[in-house]
Structure 1
Amino acid sequence: MRGLKKEARLPTVYEVIGVLILFIVIMFGFINLLELPIQLALFTSWFMVIGLGLWIGLRYKKLQDGLLQGISNGLEAVLILITVGALIGTWIAGGIVPSIIYYGLSVISPNIFLFATLIICALTSLATGTSFGTAGTAGIAMIGIGQSFGIPLPLVAGAVISGAYVGDKLSPLSDTTVMTASLTKVDIIEHIKSMLYVSGPAFGIASLLFIFVGFFYVGNSVDLTRAEEAMGALQGQFNISWYMLVPPLIVIALLAMKQPSIPTITFGAFLGVIWGFAFQGIPFLDAIQTSYQGYSIDSGIEFMDTLLNSGGMVSMLEVILLILLALGLGGLMEAAGILHVICQTLLKWADNAGKTTLTTLIAAFFGNFFGGAAYVSVITGSKITEENYDRLNIDKRVLSRNTEAGGTITTPMVPWSDGGVFMAVTLGVSTMAYLPFLWFHFLVIIITLLYGFTGKFIWYTKGKEYTENYEDSTVNTTKFEA
């Protein structure tokens, strides 16, 4: 009997609850009590999940395969991080970011700055389909302008990220938009139309909130002397001119023409090298070096130095490690059946449109919280809850819309997800600091739930027959292959 292999099984609900509680304890203890890096907390959590997997009969090889698959699913985000780091470094050295900040200070009124930030980032992300690219270009420029005006940076970051995720959610060029439409088998245009019922009101209300805060809070506290000092410092350090805006226009145009993000952003970084050499008088090899090491400046103004001493691939190394660890943890949880048990438990409870909407939001959020990436969240949100939409004859356009609301939208809300880490590092504002100002994101979630529980804009299929087939689930509900 000793030689018999232990049959693998799914973890019980109580085992899953225990793991989730322990995960939260590890994260809180490492970060808040012991003041250890979040990377160590995630790495420690790997072995907690591996221990559970071995306990329920899984072989280590299967768990390791799940870990590697989880990392593989998010490698595109890692590559984008590397290229954006290079782009930020060369665009600062080439005078591109300083010129955008200078002209922004010249033409944007402090009263409407937050609203303008929301609109500019929304238009950029709609044209390019990338929230990362938007934050790494227009976003850091808006942070610089806001800092020069003396506006609290978490508030500015909230406007930047809110605008950036409008396009990440609605643009037909966005990878998450295309991926969600594909997973739910919904035409991409119909998917976008469905989301407009939620995103339109959310964006309108968020715009009013940023306008209100701009006029009644920011407008009364801005010291324009600081902005004038920043403009003088920028002119003293860089050649400021209209042709510094050419590289951003080229990059945005290429992305709008559906060119791949990674080579396009890399080309933008190369343009920054050319601009630094041709217009800023930087030796060519030094200009290339800024793509790796970032840019260094001593303007004599502390907040400007803090903003412009950044960029380079090196600046993204800790971020990349964090994302890899988070992705690996998500892969382990998927391999151990933890996410499956959670979502199956939710499915048993969801017997109407409102509860089904809530389960999709939760399932997608779990993909970000435990999987660390938007790609994981749209998979957990769509594939695990789709059978409930079939059972209740709810149109798949509702599923696709709800998946984006729970997945794409919540990505920058999780400190260790790829979106949360990228926004915090790129904008220089921690996730928990900017979180209260993600007004567009919160409004999307609230309106989505409101529609679900009131039945508003919930469409049902007619004249179609659906067959429930729970045996075709991607994870066996009784046992695993060890």
Structure 2
Amino acid sequence: MAEETASSRRQPSAAVAVVSFLAIVAVLVVLINLNVDTTMSLFVATIMAALVAFALKIPWKETESVLLKTVADCIPTFIIVIMVGMLVGIWIAGGTVPALMYYGMKIVSPSILVPLAFILCFLTSEFTGTSFGSIATMGVAFVGIASTTNIPMALVIGAVVCGAWFGDRMSPMSDTTNLASGVSRVPLYTHINSMLYSAVPAAVIAFVMFAIAGIAMGGGHTDPESQQIIMNALTENYNMSIWLVLPALMVLVVSALRMPAFLGFGLTIIVSVIFAMLTQGVGFVDIMNYAANGFSIETGAGPMVDNMLNRGGISSMTVLLVTFMVASLMGGIIKATGILEVIANEVLLKVIKGKTALVVVTLIYGYVVNFLAAGGQTVSIIVTQQTFEEAYERLNVDRRVLSRCLEDSATLSAPIVPWGVATLFVMATLGCGLEYIPYCWFIFLVPIAAVVCAATNIGMWDADGNRMWGKYKGMKGAPGKEPAQPVK
């Protein structure tokens, strides 16, 4: 029976794989452009993927096994999203986020607000290992500060997102950094060192662009009236003190101790609960409800202030979690169909003639999988690595280049996928739409830097770990395999 089942399964041809792929993408794009709810658009695309699996006669048990494995890989992210929602509600009730906003308005000059948002969100993610946590804490504070200036909010959020994902990508505590390193079998810090070659040039250029744009587009001016309204509302509703930022610094402590994300966030939540009760006099039952349902207050200053403070809680993440789950289902089914592997092996790998083309195709493939998997970084990293590992060995390119490409595409593209989980998180947490995506300059620059590295050999290594720049004279072909040819 097993042999009959295996033989009945159809291996998709290149044409079938491409058509199936385009059909699934078309469903997503068309429905979303028709303003169909993102979760429902993903659900319909999931059904489309299931129909492809059915047409290929893939046994349901096989599909289910891959699907469950994909969902299981996403569970740590589910937990982090839930805990971030709790922490935002607690920090707003306890005065931590309001204090960051209050003192930020007093200290931060509008002329440096945008580049500062990029740098501080980078540092927050670098120390915590989570872009979501950086968005929900430092990002919320900068959005509040920016609301009193004439700087376009989309620009500020673009800087926040770029900084958050830059730090997440380079942090040894990040789940995606460890995943890309692990599946590629590259030592963690070797992987991080490799990423510097594409990240640092892109970060420097993006920082300069944010600095220039912050002044050119906003003029560095503050709206004193709006700022005073917000600051007065905060002092009237909170026992304001600089000590209120201590729970935020707690995140740096757990990072220095290199605690796992779950334990680190758990300890931070416990400390933040105690802090809120002691500094603001919030009751234990109330703080638990804020963690579950979000903070709610009427400051008397109007919607401008109330909308910044009425947020957080697990309930604010419910739609995101459901969408994430549906996206995971779709990604698992697509992986089970094998159409991505066929597209890679029968179409993409055939055009690869050298290391530059290899890097370009890897980046494109990582982006495509991530867009198809609704920003599912885990799925994209794993599928892309499995698809291209052999090609890197064949062209005598070190795996650290592959692991870097996984992050340059799969990790960084997450917050620019319009229907993706990360994008929905940014919009839900910062109260914005998709208008921030064109300002994600760092995310767009990194792949360009990666291609430049491949073309110039700078930041490239052969399979033996020898660097390809300088006086390197390498050979193409996996070690021990003949014939070997000069690298192009």
TM-score by length of structure 1 reads 0.91
2:439 pairs with 1:425: no
| Among 356, 363, 366, the residue aligned to 2:365 | 363
User: Which of 449, 452, 458 is the matching residue for 2:451?
Assistant: 449
| Distance across 2 between alignment mates of 1:68 and 1:85 | 25
Counterpart CA distance in 2 for 1:265 and 1:112 is 30
CA contact (8 A) 2:21 2:339 kept: no
1:153 aligns with 2:153: yes
1:333-344 aligned at under 5 Å gives the runs 333-344=334-345
- Partner residue of 2:486? none
1:437 corresponds to which residue?
Answer: 439
Contact 1:70 1:371 in 2 (8 A): no
Query: How far apart, CA to CA, are the structure 2 residues paired with 1:27 and 1:4?
Result: 35
2:151 and 2:219 in contact (8 A); partners too: no
- Indicate the residue corresponding to 1:375 in structure 2: 378
Distance 1:220-1:108 versus aligned 2 partners, 3 A rule:
closer
Report matched runs for 1:247-266 at 5 Å.
247-266=247-266
* CA–CA separation in structure 1 for the residues paired with 2:43 and 2:409: 26
Contact 2:88 2:313 in 1 (8 A): yes
Q: Secondary structure at the match of 1:416?
A: coil
Structure 2 residue 426 is matched with structure 1 residue 412: no
* Separation (CA, whole Å) in 2 of partners of 1:284 and 1:457: 53
Mapping for residues 199-278 of structure 1, pairs under 5 Å: 199-278=199-278
State the alpha-carbon separation in 1 of the partners of residues 271 and 108 from structure 2. 27
> CA-to-partner distance for each residue in 1:366-409, whole Å, 9 max, x for gaps?
33222342112221232211211111111222212212101111
1:466 deviation in Å?
Answer: 5.0
The residue correspondences of 1:46-195 to structure 2 (distance < 5 A) are 46-195=46-195
Deviation at 1:467, TM superposition (A): 5.3
Q: Give TM-score, length-normalised by structure 2.
A: 0.90
The counterpart of 1:465, out of the listed 479, 483, 487, is 479
The amino acid across from 2:243 in the alignment is Y
Cα distance change on mapping 1:24 and 1:184 into 2, 3 Å: closer
In structure 2, what is the Cα distance between the partners aligned to 1:429 and 1:385?
Answer: 37
Deviation at 1:55, TM superposition (A): 1.2
Shift of 1:138: 1.1
Identity rate, percent: 34
| Distance (Å, rounded) in 2 between the aligned partners of 1:238 and 1:135 | 23
Taking the aligned partners of 1:126 and 1:101, their CA distance within structure 2 comes to 21
More displaced, 173-182 or 96-105? 173-182
Q: Is contact 1:86-1:266 (8 Å) kept? A: no
Partner of 2:281: 281
1:197-227: per-residue Cα shift (whole Å, max 9, x none)?
1111111111101110122221255423211
Secondary structure, in 3 states, of the residue corresponding to 2:8?
A: coil
CA shift, 1:273, in A, is: 2.5
What is the CA distance between 1:233 and its match in structure 2? 1.1
Number of the residue aligned with 1:352: 354
Question: Per-residue deviation at 1:250?
Answer: 1.3
Q: Deviations over 1:418-470 (max 9, x none)?
A: 3222222222223x3111111111110111122223444333245971559xx
User: Which whole-Å deviations, capped at 9, do the CAs of 1:267-319 have from their partners, x for residues lacking one?
Assistant: 32333322332222222211111000100111223222111110000110100
Mapped to 1, the partners of 2:245 and 2:161 lie a distance apart of: 22
Cα separation, partners in 2 of 1:174 and 1:113, compared to 1, 3 Å: same
Partner AA of 1:425 in structure 2? A
Partner of 1:294: 294
Does the 8 Å contact 2:70/2:332 carry over to 1?
yes
Q: CA deviation at 1:335?
A: 0.4
Distance 1:461 1:14 in 2: 33
Rounded Cα–Cα distance in structure 2 between residues aligned with 1:13 and 1:429: 40
1:156 partner letter: V
SS in 1 for 2:479: coil
Residue-by-residue CA offset, 1:324-357 (whole Å, 9 max, x unaligned): 1111101000101122112212112111111100
Which range is displaced more, 138-147 or 92-101? 138-147
Inter-CA distance 466–230: structure 2 relative to 1 (3 Å threshold): farther
- 1:16 CA drift (Å): 2.3
In terms of mean alpha carbon deviation, does 352-361 or 212-221 score higher? 212-221
Letter in 1 for 2:355: A
Maintained 8 Å contact 1:326/1:416: no
Shift in alpha-carbon separation, 1:45–1:461, aligned structure 2, 3 A = closer
| 8 A contact 2:149–2:221 mirrored in 1 | no
For structure 1, which segment, 365-374 or 346-355, has the greater mean C-alpha deviation from structure 2 after superposition?
365-374
| Counterparts of 2:330 and 2:463, CA distance in 1 | 38
Contact 1:292 1:312 in 2 (8 A): yes
Please tell me the residue identity of whatever aligns with 2:45: S
Q: Partners of 1:48 and 1:416 in 2: how far apart?
A: 17
Provide closer, same or farther for how the CA distance between residues 47 and 103 of structure 1 changes in structure 2, counting only shifts above 3 A: same
Partner SS, residue 147 of structure 2:
helix
- Counterpart for residue 42 of structure 2: 42
Question: For the residues of structure 1 that align with 2:235 and 2:359, how far apart are their CA atoms?
Answer: 53
1:309 maps to what in 2? Answer: 310
Post-superposition Cα deviations, 1:43-68, rounded to whole Å, max 9, x if no partner, equal 11122111111111212232233222
Task: Quote the offset at 1:235 in angstroms.
Answer: 0.7
Q: Is the 8 A contact 1:85 1:291 kept in 2?
A: yes
Q: In structure 1, what residue type is equivalent to 2:210?
A: F
Q: Which amino acid in the other structure matches residue 415 of structure 1?
A: P
| Number of corresponding residues | 464
Q: Distance in 2 between matches of 1:231 and 1:44?
A: 46
Maintained 8 Å contact 1:353/1:455:
no
The residue that corresponds to 2:471 in the other structure is: none
The separation in 2 between residues aligned to 1:196 and 1:383, in whole angstroms, is: 23
Matches of 2:12 and 2:402 in 1, distance apart?
Answer: 27
